[in-house]
A and B are shown apart, each in its own frame.
Chain A
Amino acid sequence: MPPRTLLRLSVLLLFVLFRMDSSVAILAADEPKPTPQNTISIEVGEPVPAQKFEHAPKFWIANVTDRSGNPQPLLVLKPRGGIFLDKQPTAIVKDALEQSLKAANLLAADEASADLVLRVYVFHFGLASGSGLDFFGKVEFSTMVKNPKTGESTEVKAAGTSIANGAVRKKNLQKNVEDNIENALRDATRNFLRGAQLKEAVVAWSKASEAQPAAAPASAEAEKPPSR
């Protein structure tokens, strides 16, 4: 190979390597990183009032699982330096539910003393695709309400939505997104606690717990030896 061709090839190779390196650097610069300035804290605020049950059970949240399939659950908004959550969505949902159940005196002290055990699956938390003119906040989760005594489970779905205005300034943008997600979370919590599906689950538990003490003396009598 003549030296001139070799020189040309090496220059070309160097150029390609430089371009690749710079594009990787640009991509890395585009990826937002969480800082205290772009991190928001989502709290449900005042506890959401729950519906009134005839026989109020005690609930226990066993676990909250993220089923959103989102690789970056903390990243709420990517453009303009990004907006991040300070906690995992699962932790935020758990806090919101526990807080509201506690305020309504429906939270058990531990799993053993609970009448109904909840397993929550979060399907969506944060912003969803909107019209582009505003922010569309959406929180969606499904809960398996299990009666530990009978082993029966009922699915209770809950969803909350909120639409907030867009903003130009970063500060306002962050505030609007925060308010929007908080409203959606409050709406979803309310949808769960005041839902007809939860009422049905509690009614089923109530019937089962009424039937058990009635069945117990009957079985005790059956076990008695026949009197002579």
Chain B
Amino acid sequence: MRIFTLALIAATFAIGASAAPKDETPQYKTAEAKHFTTAEGVELSPAFVDYFYAELRNELTKAKLVKEVIGEGETVEDADAPRSLVISGTVTEFKKGSVVKSALIGFGAGFKSLKMDADVARRSDKQSLCVIHVHVKIDPRWNEKVMAKGAAHEMVKEMKKALAEASKTATADASKPS
């Protein structure tokens, strides 16, 4: 019985060790996030765009999607350009929301709403790798910077998924016999 218990514990550890996430090296070397532009009619302060830029860079660093997150307008070595990303985008819609509606109706009515589109391109040939659409809704009483935080988090999550899918497709295409 004792031997069985020990074997069970050892097996559990072994499974745990094999299931532990490996420190995979990121596929891309650098990512340059640009300040997002705002579409006509979007009433957001320039401070929001600045804060979103900082949050996006912060989230990219946290997600370990790339080796290095560089600032806007920074140069990249020519050799690294094919493995570098440039992220640009636009805030397409912003609704201020209504505190009264939110309090009286509830269920998400009167929430602040933000829609953004982002384009992730390869630096060397400017080829678009994926296009991401993000829609964030928050309580109208909350600061708009909280919305920027949520949008940046959502965007990087979507980006990670889209880039993983794109690389899978590329690998499958490359392995296909011509």
Contacts and interface: CB of A to CB of B under 8 A. Distances in A.
B47 interface: yes
Q: How large is the interface on A (under 10, 10 to 19, 20 to 34, 35 or more residues)?
A: 20 to 34
Interface stretch (B15-23, B36-44, B69-77): B69-77
A38 interface: no
A194 B74 contact: yes
B50 interface: yes
B71 A138 contact: no
Nearest to B146: A131
Interface in B124-177: 143, 145-146, 148-149
Given A130-B51, A132-B143, A161-B57, A196 B149 contact: no
Given A128-B50, A131-B143, A161-B50, A194 B149 contact: no
A82 B25 CA distance: 42
A196 B71 contact: no
B93 interface: no
Nearest to B74: A194
Contact of A190 (B53, B57, B74): B74
Nearest to A198: B75
Contacts, number: 58
Interface residues of B, number: 19
Contacts of B47: 128-129
Interface string A153-189: 0000111111100000000000000000000000100
Given A129-B145, A130-B51, A199 B58 contact: no
B142 to A, nearest CB: 9
B99 interface: no
A195 B74 contact: yes
A216 interface: no
A4 B54 CA distance: 67
A128 B75 CA distance: 26
Given A130-B51, A136-B51, A163-B55, A191 B145 contact: no
Interface of A: 51, 128-133, 136, 138, 157-163, 187, 190-191, 194-197, 199
Interface of B: 47, 50-51, 53-55, 57-58, 70-75, 143, 145-146, 148-149
